[in-house]
Amino acid sequence: MQRYFIEETQLQNDLVSITGDDAHHIANVMRMKQDQEIICTVPGSSTVRCTLTNISSEQITAAVVEYVENTNELPISITIASGLPKGDKLELIIQKGTELGASGFLPFAAARSIVKLDDKKASKKVDRWQKIAKEAAEQSYRFIVPTVEQPASFQQLLNSIQYYDACIVAYEESAKTGESAGLVQTFQSLKEGSRLLVVFGPEGGLSEKEVNQLEEKGAKLCGLGPRILRTETAPFYVLAAASFHFELMG
Amino acid sequence: MQRYFIEETQLQNDLVSITGDDAHHIANVMRMKQDQEIICTVPGSSTVRCTLTNISSEQITAAVVEYVENTNELPISITIASGLPKGDKLELIIQKGTELGASGFLPFAAARSIVKLDDKKASKKVDRWQKIAKEAAEQSYRFIVPTVEQPASFQQLLNSIQYYDACIVAYEESAKTGESAGLVQTFQSLKEGSRLLVVFGPEGGLSEKEVNQLEEKGAKLCGLGPRILRTETAPFYVLAAASFHFELMG
């Protein structure tokens, strides 16, 4: 069944009202007809299954059939902090990371980031990234749309660590020396509802200075197995491992 | 350190001889100089750290400094069977799947596969896929290059199940109904050296008939958490979960 995210104000008296891109998608792309069903989620609030009662390209109305329980979110909230990578790698991280359950994405300018974004470019990028997150969230039946933050400086990243229950750094050198207990121990230390920040370097990795500064703020260095993962692959590992640990082993 | 895969015959009397693309890469792309070190792996046999003694675009000679222990392979061998997906998704599956430790890839023509490959097209594709696997294996410090099989028919896939110690099917409907024990139980039932086949549908998923036929051959249906993963994301989940289970929790 097609799924759409809607605003709180679009769901009133058990009626859903949809306009804009989503109305176009329902009427013209999916060519849906009266009495067909869709799922609408007010992020973080409620999800309803509903029947289309009125369809035009400008305005869709749907009647709520039932309120659906939301159980699709990871028990812990994971924010992926990525040192700005080259090209469109962050798009891949956001799309697949959203499918795999990330709560948010925090791009930051790492010492070895080659890409530099001025404020104007950054805002345009964030709009695009947020759209990718929304589409992936719909596709993967998420209950929330992960937030994509404005690219931060490394100092801002350091300052944000205090707002999380734990912070880990995916560190290539840890992987090479066979560090294997950190991720397991971190997961075991977190309880439902905890907030975890995971920091990944850009292509060249984090600098030693950056790693030291993160450690001073309480971040723990973790290996992700013995194989060297690319900067865009490492977040998938952490998110899948978290799902395996919290949702399958539960 | 740069890593290259070599043939058994290229390593003789503690000397490594490199020609072709890799020689070009060392001499002209990396512009390496005498006395710099590289790592060479004879897949499945040995890995050596060696010093460049002679460099030209046609021929590189290197002297072995030490034999390195190989510990970068997953304790179980996992083959990813992908219902042929659209576009270049299989390239992404092979690249990232290799980083994450897959032993091999077995594309197959699923009922809902939209792509059809004749033998000639398939051979060209396999060459390209195998090249992607080799490059990703070098990059991620693998000890073997995963094999990419010629695209199989569904019947050939069914026939191949008997050669594995276990076979699981990543099944969307299992995920939706909250199946969560299958993957954990399967991992727990496998010991070091076991061979696991994991079957993934194409974009539209496996047909009910295909799922039934796989089950008749002993395959187990598994959910991969409550979120719906795209066809190219689900293999990453299984491989990362396997690494977490066998290498980190170990």
Convert the pLDDT of each residue in B40-70 to its tens digit. Answer: 999 888 889 999 999 998 899 999 999 988 7
* Residue percentage of chain A with pLDDT more than 70: 99
pLDDT above 80 (res B188): yes
Lowest mean pLDDT among A9-18, A68-77, A105-114, B218-227: A68-77
In this prediction, residues B2-18 reach a mean pLDDT of 92
Block residue for tokens 């849906």: A32
Chain-chain contact of A240 with B240 (C-beta, under 8 angstroms)? yes
Do the Cβ atoms of A58 and A23 come closer than 8 Å? yes
Higher pLDDT pick, A67 / A69: A67
Chain-chain contact of A247 with B226 (C-beta, under 8 angstroms)? yes
pLDDT above 70 (res B122): yes
- Within chain A, residue ranges assigned H as helices are 20-24, 89-99, 119-139, 154-160, 172-176, 182-189, 208-216, 234-243
pLDDT above 70 (res B135): yes
pLDDT above 70 (res B33): yes
A93: its two tokens: 């991280």
Bridge partners of A220, per DSSP, are A168
In this prediction, residues B170-179 reach a mean pLDDT of 77
Instruction: State the pLDDT confidence band at A250, using cuts at 50, 70 and 90.
Output: confident
pLDDT digits (tens, 9 = 90+) for A157-209: 999 999 999 999 998 887 667 778 899 999 999 998 899 999 999 999 999 99
Higher pLDDT pick, A178 / A72: A72
Q: What is the pLDDT of residue B175?
A: 67
pLDDT above 80 (res A63): yes
**What are the residue boundaries of the structural domains of chain A, listed by start?**
3-68, 77-248
* Residue percentage of chain B with pLDDT more than 70: 99
Among A181, A179, A178, A182, CA closest to A198: A182
Chain-chain contact of A72 with B226 (C-beta, under 8 angstroms)? yes
Distance CA B116, CA A118 (A): 45
In this prediction, residues B186-203 reach a mean pLDDT of 95
First to last CA, chain B: 28
Q: Which of A99, A224, A248 sits opposite B227 (nearest CB)?
A: A99
Pairing of strands A104-108, A147-148: parallel
Give me the CATH topology for the region B3-68: Ribosomal Protein L25; Chain P (2.40.240)
pLDDT above 70 (res B215): yes
Q: What is the pLDDT of residue B227?
A: 93
A153: its two tokens: 């400086």
Per CB-CB distance under 8 Å, the chain A contacts of B178 are 71
Chain-chain contact of A180 with B248 (C-beta, under 8 angstroms)? yes
pLDDT above 80 (res B209): yes
In this prediction, residues A21-26 reach a mean pLDDT of 92
Chain-chain contact of A240 with B245 (C-beta, under 8 angstroms)? no
Bridge partners of B207, per DSSP, are none
Distance CA A122, CA A151 (A): 7
pLDDT above 70 (res B239): yes
User: Best of B237, B238, B247 to disrupt the A interface by mutation (most A CBs within 10 Å)?
Assistant: B237
Query: What are A's interface residues with B at a Cβ cutoff of 8 A?
Result: 71-72, 96, 99-101, 139-142, 178, 180-181, 183-184, 223-230, 233, 236-241, 243-245, 247-250
DSSP state of A246: I
Do the Cβ atoms of B83 and B112 come closer than 8 Å? yes
In this prediction, residues B118-144 reach a mean pLDDT of 92
Distance CA A79, CA A93 (A): 12
C-alpha to C-alpha distances, A9 to A68, A223, B200, nearest whole angstrom: 18, 45, 39
Angle between helices B234-243 and A234-243 (to 10 degrees): 80
Lowest mean pLDDT among A7-21, A74-88, A175-189, A224-238: A175-189
Q: What is the pLDDT of residue A32?
A: 93
Chain-chain contact of A247 with B240 (C-beta, under 8 angstroms)? no
First to last CA, chain A: 28
In this prediction, residues B110-117 reach a mean pLDDT of 92
Instruction: State the pLDDT confidence band at B113, using cuts at 50, 70 and 90.
Output: very high
pLDDT above 70 (res A88): yes
Chain-chain contact of A181 with B248 (C-beta, under 8 angstroms)? yes
Q: Which of B140, B184, B241 sits opposite A227 (nearest CB)?
A: B140
Q: What is the pLDDT of residue A69?
A: 81
- Cα B154 to its chain centre, rounded Å, is 20
pLDDT above 80 (res B177): no
- Cα A230 to its chain centre, rounded Å, is 19
Q: Give me the interface pTM, i.e. the ipTM.
A: 0.86
B158: its two tokens: 């069914």
Ramachandran angles phi, psi of A54, nearest 5° = -150, 125
Chain-chain contact of A142 with B227 (C-beta, under 8 angstroms)? yes
Pairing of strands B15-19, A220-222: unpaired
The alpha-carbon radius of gyration of chain A (Å, integer) is: 20
Q: What is the pLDDT of residue B111?
A: 96
Q: Which of B184, B224, B243 sits opposite A225 (nearest CB)?
A: B243
- Write b or e for each residue in A205-218: b if 16 or more Cβ atoms lie within 10 A of its Cβ, otherwise e: bbeeebbebbeeee
Instruction: State the pLDDT confidence band at B29, using cuts at 50, 70 and 90.
Output: confident
Give me the CATH topology for the region B77-248: Alpha/beta knot (3.40.1280)
A218: its two tokens: 């309480």
A32 φ/ψ sector (left φ>0, alpha ψ -120 to 50, else beta): beta
DSSP B41-82: EETTTEEEEEEEEEE-SSEEEEEEEEEEP---S-SSEEEEEE
pLDDT digits (tens, 9 = 90+) for A108-152: 999 999 988 888 889 999 999 999 999 999 999 898 899 999 999
Bridge partners of A196, per DSSP, are A78, A166
DSSP chain B: --EEE--GGGEETTEEEEEHHHHHIIIIIS---TT-EEEEEETTTEEEEEEEEEE-SSEEEEEEEEEEP---S-SSEEEEEEE--STTHHHHHHHHHHHTT--EEEEE--TT------HHHHHHHHHHHHHHHHHHHHHTT-SSPPEEPPPB-HHHHHHHGGGSSEEEEE-HHHHHTT--SHHHHHHHH--TT-EEEEEE--TT---HHHHHHHHHTT-EEE---SSPPPTTTHHHHHHHHHHIIIII--
- Cα A66 to its chain centre, rounded Å, is 27
